Structure formats: C-alpha cells, structure tokens
Structure 1
Amino acid sequence: MYLTGKQTQLLGSIMQTLAEPHEEQEIREIMGDLVMQLLGAQFYASYVWQPDSLSFAQPTQINMDPINLRAYESYYQFHDPITPLMQRYQVAVRATDVLAIEDLKKTEFFNDFLNKDGLYWGVNLYAWHQGQNLGDMRIWRDKRRDNFTPDEMRLLDMLQPAFVTALARAQRPTQRHEVQLNTLSQRLTPREQDTARFVMLGMPDKEIARALSISSTTVRTHLENAFRKVGVSNRAALVHKLRN
C-alpha cells in the first residue's frame, strides 16, 4: 500500500488524537475532519446506535445539511436499504458492497435523502466493542469522484482498533461515578478515590492515566497511597476492601 507524505502525516495525527483523552462526541468530530482529508472525501456523519429504541442518535456531521439530517433521524433511517446491512460488518464496508449503485439510485433513500447533499459513494466504519456499537464513521464522496478503493478500505481498517479503544475509554469516566465506594474510601483523597474507581472497572494503569490526564507514575503513586491507607498490598484486595 503506497501512502503519500500527506497521508502519512494524517495517519500520525489520527493515531495521536486517538491516544489522547477526549470526550466521546469530540472523538467522532475530530476523526471526521482527519479521515475526510485522509481519504479525499467531502461529507461525513457519525451516529451512536441506541439498542433500546433501535435507532441512531447523537449525530455529528461535516458538510451536510442539518435539516436533511434531522429528516434522516426522524424518517429515512427507518427506510434505509443499506445502513442496517453495513452495520453488520466488523470492518470498513462500502455502500456498493451491500447494494449496487444502480439499485441504490432507484430508492427513496437515495433520491430524497442522499442526493440532496450530493452523496454518491459511501463507506461506513462501525466501532464494535464487547457486542456494543459505540459509534460509527460515515464517509461520502459525490458522483464526480471515484468509489473508495481497497487500499482506502484497508486504511480505515488500520484505524479501527484505535478508534474503538478511544471510544471505549471515553465512556469510562462517566462509568467511574457510578462505582460506589464504602466508608473506607473516606481515608482517600478525591484523586485516589477516582483512581480506585477506575481500578474497580478493571482498567490498567495506562488507561487510568489517559482518563485522568496524569502520568502512569502518578497513577501508581495514588494506588500505593490507597493501598497504605486501606491496609492492603494489591489491586484485588483494594477492590474487595472498598466494596465490602
């Protein structure tokens, strides 16, 4: 696979972004701009699947009409011949991989939704983690350009593991506040309590460091202080003490 100098730089920027602590929607927004540049695309949207309502929500978009997207959310996503098929894939997938372009052009979805913004060639990438769809990237070109190539698909597949990890990590700070500590935790400072909660969620030191925007060395310091104050010598014992 040949990469231009610009593509190599963009790949580095993308991987650096995905390694940094960001909010979930912020990740999807930043990725949209960078991936559009990487693939020479013109349009981008991203949603999060809601299993309770069987619908996509929490949109972010670039170069797409917000009014048209609201119509997608209220109507067209429920009359969409391609996205439910594309969502089944664990790798990047083109719209034409699930439905021929000539057949897509005959549909209401194409003529009344995609065509309004000029979307013609599309590729989707879904972030699946432990059976949950954490978010997606929907990247499109207009008809004046070519369909996405196999090499471009491989580029997206290279990014997928880091994209999934970043979205999963972004959800954990919210989960942290749902972890209840017992009265022993009152011996700990607020930062030590946060570190302990992440330990109880099963996170390793490097992920805790990213989530709290501190170094791994500082994480170890917080943990050692917590061990000493609670009277334990390891992570498993700390979790047991703070839960019971």
Structure 2
Amino acid sequence: MRLLAEATDPDTLRGDLALPMLDLLRADTYVSMTWDKAARRFDRAKALNMSLENLRSWDEYYRFVDPLTFPMMERRHPTLATQILCQSDLARTEFFNDFLARDHMHWGVNVYVFAHGECTGDMRIWRRRERGNFDNNEIEALRLVEPAFAAALARFQWEADPLLSPQARESVTELLQRRSALSQREAEAAALVLSGCPDKLIAKRMAVGLPTVRFHLANAFRKLRVENRTQLAARAQALVNDPFVASN
C-alpha cells in the first residue's frame, strides 16, 4: 500500500510490486503489462522469474493461441486460470505445454484494472505445480490490493493528460451521484479518491480547504458504509462498473 500511495511512475510501480505480490500470494512468477487500445496488444512488460525469451514468444505467437488472457481480462476482477479452463483441459493445450511450462507456471491468477472503461494495467501471478492452487484467502488479499492498484494507475493517466482529468472526473462523479445517495460534492471527492488523489490534491482540484474535503469524505464513508479510503475506492469502483450495485 505504501508503494501504491507513494509511486511517481506507473512502469516503475508495476516493477516494484513484483516481489511484494509474490510474497503476499506465496507465488513464483510475476508479469505486469499495459494494454495498448489502439494497437490492441499488451506492451511495456515488467516481469520477475520469467525469461525474456519466453515473454517475447508470447507477444510474437502465443497470444494468438492463449485461451486464458482475454477471457480473464473481460471479468475485470481477480480470476483464477482454473475459472476459465479446468486444469486438465489447460494441461492439454499448446499454450500450457509450450509456453507456461517453460517457466514452471502451473497455477495462475490474473487481475486487470480499468479507468473510464479502458484497461490501464494488470498483474499476472503464477505458481509452480507443487505449491497448489490459490485459495480464497489469497484471492481476497489480491482483491484488497486491486482498488489501490487501479487508483494509482488512474492517477498517472490523469496526470499524464491534464485535458482528460475534468471530463473523466465529471463522468465518474455523475455515475456515483446517480447510483448512490452521495451529493454532487461528495461524489466528486469520492471520484478523486478513486483516482488515487491524496486529500491535499483533492482540495486543490475541488478548490476548497482540507476541512471541507474531510467533511465530504466523512459523509461519503457514512453513506457508502465504508471505514477508510481503500474501502471507499473499492465501493466507488463497484458503483462505476456495475449499474446494479445498490448504495445500501
């Protein structure tokens, strides 16, 4: 969480998360990429314990026969490889035998994060066969990291393109206000939390003082029944992504 809060560069952040995430999930291999919507391909890979040759082979060939990545991306939350294909079926594929097995990647979980409908990055975490599949507690741990990871990458996107910020903020604010009991200013503050902004930056963007920001956030906590900024970001993300999520 400290890395996510203090990061100043998205590619460095994705690389720095490798060891903490492998430790957190007792895993062996970490890969993180960003999605290039225009080219419709993943790039800017960061990896730990995966050969560069194998990583290049995915982009050059195996992405075309990969039965996991795009279905996992569509789910928009941490997804086990075995939720897409049972292990016995996966083990019979070219993708498993000629690609995953090279780096002893047997059990996998991927998470893809989005901002304003666009994928901003991912984490692909794999284990050796002998470790066994990821359990529910480990998936819940990844779910706790997910909204903060999404917010950090969204913040970099806004900072890289200042023209995007007002429009994006307005869109998310409108969705939050429409799908919850938040006032317009409370929804705006929650949208900025979702983007990863600290209180001082929220105050600057809303042109108000810090006490006013904290007043709006306290109201948002109460109305959305959350206890902290991480929970607020997760709740706001759920409201933005799913129109059927009720505020109560």
Provide the TM-score with structure 1 as the length reference: 0.68
Structure 1 distance, partners of 2:153, 2:12, is 10
TM-aligned CA deviation for residue 53 of structure 1: 2.3
- Aligned-residue CA RMSD (Å): 2.7
Instruction: Pick from 141, 145, 165 the counterpart of residue 151 of structure 2.
Output: 165
Instruction: Pick from 59, 62, 71 the counterpart of residue 76 of structure 1.
Output: 62
Q: Tell me the residue number matched to 2:103.
A: 117
Q: Tell me the residue number matched to 2:91.
A: 105
The alignment-based identity, stated in percent, is 35
Matched, 1:135 2:129: no
Give 5+ residue unaligned stretches, structure 1: 1-14, 180-196, 225-244
Matched, 1:216 2:200: yes
Q: Tell me the residue number matched to 2:182.
A: none
TM-aligned CA deviation for residue 48 of structure 1: 1.2
Secondary structure of the structure 2 residue equivalent to 1:52: coil
Q: Tell me the residue number matched to 1:149.
A: 135
Structure 1 distance, partners of 2:68, 2:15, is 23
Distance 1:106 1:57, change over 3 A: same
Distance 1:121 1:172, change over 3 A: same
Q: Tell me the residue number matched to 2:11.
A: 25
Aligned residues: 186
Contact 1:55–1:77, Cα closer than 8 Å, also in 2: no
Matched, 1:57 2:57: no
Structure 1 distance, partners of 2:71, 2:121, is 16
Structure 2 distance, partners of 1:88, 1:159, is 19
Give 5+ residue unaligned stretches, structure 2: 170-187, 209-248
Query: Which residue identity lines up with residue 200 of structure 2 in the other structure?
Result: S
Q: Tell me the residue number matched to 2:160.
A: 174
TM-aligned CA deviation for residue 215 of structure 1: 8.4
TM-aligned CA deviation for residue 200 of structure 1: 8.1
Contact 2:10–2:156, Cα closer than 8 Å, also in 1: yes
Secondary structure of the structure 1 residue equivalent to 2:125: strand
Contact 1:21–1:170, Cα closer than 8 Å, also in 2: no
Provide the TM-score with structure 2 as the length reference: 0.67
